[in-house]
Amino acid sequence: PELRPMLRGIEQADSALINGSKWFSTMFNASFFFFRERKHVVESLNSTGVYLSNEHTDAGRVVDFKDYQLGLGRPFRSLKVFCVLRSFGVDGLRATIRRHILLAKYLANRLSASGVFEVVRHVDFGLVCFRAKHKTSGDHNNNNNNNNNNNNNN
C-alpha cells in the first residue's frame, strides 16, 4: 500500500505487463498482463488456425486463454501463481516485497559507503543502479607506483 503512489496514472494505460518471477516467488515464466480491451490482445496474439475455430469462441460465449499469450509449449503457469497466493497470501507477498526493497536500500548504502562505487539512481523498488567511481589522475599514478613496486619485488 505504501508504494501505490508510484503507480499513479496507471489507470490511464491501455495495458501493463508485470514480471512476477521475483516478488511472486515463481522463479520464472509467470507474468501478469492487465489490459483494457481484450480484442486488441486477442488480435495480436491469436494463434487459432481454421482447424481450432468453434462456434462458442466465434460467438463470444467462451474465453480462449490460448489467445492471451504466445505459445511456447503452453505450461500451466497460472498454477504456480495460485499456489504462491495460497501459500504466502497477500500479506506474505507484501512482506516479501518490503524485505526486497529494504535489501536493495541496504546494498545501495553499502555500495555508496565503499568509496569504490556510486549509486546513480535513488532506489525505489528492488533495483540498484550503480557504477564504479572514476579514478582521478592521482589515483592512477598511485596504482602505477604500486604496480611498479610489486613488479620490482618479484
C-alpha cell at 6: 508510484
- The one-digit pLDDT tens for each residue of the chain (154 residues) are 888 898 899 999 998 888 888 788 887 778 888 888 888 887 777 666 666 777 888 888 888 776 666 655 556 777 888 888 999 999 999 999 999 999 999 999 999 999 999 999 999 888 999 999 987 665 555 555 544 444 444 4
Residue 3: alpha-carbon gap to chain centroid: 15
Q: What is the pLDDT of residue 62?
A: 86
pLDDT score of 13: 92
Kindly report whether the global pTM for this prediction surpasses the value 0.85.
Answer: no
